[in-house]
Amino acid sequence: MSTVLDEIQAPAGAGRVITDPATGDEVGRVPIATTADLDAAIAAARAAQPSWAQLGDARRVDLLNAAADALQEHAEELAVLLSREQGKPLNGPNARFEVGACEAWLRASTAPDVSPQVLVDDGQIRAEIHYRPLGVVGAIGPWNWPMMISIWQIAPNLRMGNTVVVKPSEFTPLSVLALVSVLNTVLPPDVLIAVPGGRDVGEAMAAHPGIDKIMFTGSIPTGKAIIRSSADTVKRVTMELGGNDAGIVLDDADPAAIAQDLFWGAFINTGQTCAALKRLYVPDSLYDAVCEELTKVAAATPMGVGLSEENLLGPVQNRKQYDIVASLVEQAKDSGARVLLGGDPDPQAVGNFYPTTLVADIDNDNPLVAQEQFGPALPIIRYTNLQQAIAWANGLEVGLGASVWSPSPQRAREVAMQLNAGTVWVNEHGAIDPRVPFGGAKGSGYGVEFGREGLLECAQAVSVKGPAGSFA
């Protein structure tokens, strides 16, 4: 019996080998697409777009919900492939969670009302706003949540009548190809096409005159390059770029009560999440207690090969990112910071396993704090003055997310409103919701995803205005 992987991978001896970051074993062989393949995909998507738009919103909604049903049917198979390719464990907020989120986000994208609205109707003037498709959208995704973030890009665009060409990360292409293959068992031909190419394909997509909008999730340098490449064709862009999210614990918090949520806010997907908690500010009065409680949780959370059901943390997905995490922790150790747990990887270990690492008594300007580590390491910074902590939290040129931890709703809200980030969570971190718009401030990008606002960013707003009675 064939699997989704059998259907999408290159034949033996062809393509490029993808290996499991936990074991080094071969997962499969990804076909190597070229810029000519991209041209063909864009042409096919452009030819398919008018009929897709003409189906109407109700029929597209039905098809998207049917696609969600197909994902549900293949959920375990997709989760196993994702775990092997990306490294994340099956359990916890990881592979099975991600595949379930794909289904949930697909369904959520069908819920908001995007029908035309009457803006003015005063007896003299009538004005309406309508939303029409943009055309063909290019979606460039990352390696940390490859399936889920692809759905964030695919679902709203298909709902709004666009067709989509997906360029997955070179590190995790098989899971995205499998996702698209399952969706395409329901969708009409050429409405959704995946092109598993390298950097040259991504660069060509950003500049391509046949692409009407780019959606990108990834690093700030790559995002800037895409923006520059897109300028000549004045295509729309949505950028969800890097973050270095701060969390501020207030002095009335209960360390034991918040430790579990603090830990998973930082270490979800082994810390490889744009909107994870990456800098934790704790007041003097609670500092030792928070460090102690976090260390207990971290020490009790198993790390290992993702297909082993007991594990909740996995490897760093690729060696390049592993080396970044290791270097930042070494710099912290060299500066005199205190390692509470971890920081001592086994150089003989198989796989990209970097131990869960907590670093205390560290300066705010230390590279482990000032740079996005994007891995299983969390610096814990002591503060004596709340306004100083707020200033430190706002002091970087990124602002994807932030969080405040306090049992007092009023105090938490007051601090939240002083933090310069696209999302500020209270007593949680990184808890995204398909109904709630999500996007970055400052260098973390622009445009929003999710909810009605995210859907409308995938459409052209058209105002229709005239004397009352001239149109109905």
Instruction: Decide if pLDDT at 443 tops 80.
Output: yes
Instruction: Decide if pLDDT at 56 tops 60.
Output: yes
Q: What CATH number corresponds to the domain at position 66?
A: 3.40.605.10
102 has catalytic annotation: no
For residue range 57-108, what is the model confidence (pLDDT) as tens digits? Answer: 999 999 999 999 999 999 999 999 999 999 999 999 999 999 999 999 999 9
pLDDT at 471: 81
The type of residue at 331 is Q
For residue range 448-468, what is the model confidence (pLDDT) as tens digits? Answer: 999 999 999 999 999 999 999
Q: Which domain holds residue 200?
A: 4-241+444-464
Same structural domain, 111 and 212? yes
Q: Which of 191, 162, 170 is nearest to 44 (CA)?
A: 191
Average pLDDT over residues 385-403: 98
95: in domain: yes
For residue range 357-367, what is the model confidence (pLDDT) as tens digits? Answer: 999 999 999 99
CB atoms within 10 A of CB 320: 10
For residue range 9-18, what is the model confidence (pLDDT) as tens digits? Answer: 999 889 999 9
114: in domain: yes
458 has catalytic annotation: no
Average pLDDT over residues 228-250: 96
154: in domain: yes
Please compute Rg for the chain using Cα positions: 23
Instruction: Decide if pLDDT at 298 tops 90.
Output: yes
Same structural domain, 253 and 235? no
CB atoms within 10 A of CB 299: 12
Average pLDDT over residues 237-242: 95
439: in domain: no
Instruction: Decide if pLDDT at 1 tops 70.
Output: no
434: in domain: no
Same structural domain, 364 and 386? yes
Same structural domain, 411 and 354? yes
321: in domain: yes
pLDDT at 362: 98
Cα(284)–Cα(296) distance, rounded to whole angstroms?
20
Same structural domain, 152 and 46? yes
Same structural domain, 173 and 203? yes
Retrieve residue 331's tokens.
């710099």
Instruction: Map the chain to HEC letters.
Output: CCCHHHHHCCCCCCCEEEECCCCCCEEEEECCECHHHHHHHHHHHHHHHHHHHHCCHHHHHHHHHHHHHHHHHCHHHHHHHHHHHHCCCCCCCCHHHHHHHHHHHHHHCCCCCCCCEEEEECCCEEEEEEEEECCEEEEECCCCCHHHHHHHHHHHHHHCCCEEEEECCCCCHHHHHHHHHHHCCCCCCCCEEECCECHHHHHHHHHCCCCCEEEEECCHHHHHHHHHHHHHHCCEEEEECCCCEEEEECCCCCHHHHHHHHHHHHHHHHHCCCCCEEEEEEEHHHHHHHHHHHHHHHHCCCECCCCCCCCCECCCCCHHHHHHHHHHHHHHHHCCCEEEECCCCCCCCCCCCCCCEEEECCCCCCHHHHCCCCCCEEEEEEECCHHHHHHHHCCCCEECEEEEECCCHHHHHHHHCCCCCCEEEECCCCCCCCCCCECCEECCEECCECHHHHHHCCEEEEEEEEECCCCC
Percent of the chain at pLDDT above 90? 97
pLDDT at 377: 98
Average pLDDT over residues 45-58: 98
Retrieve residue 192's tokens.
């959704």
Q: What CATH number corresponds to the domain at position 376?
A: 3.40.309.10
Residue 227: pLDDT band (50, 70, 90) is very high
pLDDT at 408: 98
- Residue keyed to tokens 């009605």: 452
Query: Which region, left, alpha or beta, applies to residue 141 given φ > 0 means left and ψ of -120 to 50 means alpha?
Result: beta
Same structural domain, 347 and 405? yes
Task: Given the residues 274, 291, 293, 372, select the one marked as catalytic.
Answer: 274
Retrieve residue 447's tokens.
């445009």
Cα(118)–Cα(194) distance, rounded to whole angstroms?
38
Same structural domain, 273 and 324? yes
432: in domain: no
pLDDT at 117: 95
Same structural domain, 260 and 319? yes
Distance of alpha carbon 186 from the chain centroid: 25
471: in domain: no
Retrieve residue 354's tokens.
């970097």
For residue range 168-213, what is the model confidence (pLDDT) as tens digits? Answer: 999 999 999 999 999 999 999 999 999 999 999 999 999 999 999 9
Task: Given the residues 240, 372, 449, 457, select the one marked as catalytic.
Answer: 240
Q: Which of 239, 209, 314 is nearest to 269 (CA)?
A: 314
What order do you get walking across the sheet with 459-467 strand by strand?
117-121, 125-133, 459-467
- DSSP lists the bridge partners of residue 426 as 404
Same structural domain, 320 and 281? yes
pTM, 2 dp: 0.96
Same structural domain, 98 and 194? yes
Same structural domain, 66 and 111? yes
Q: What domain count does the chain have?
A: 2
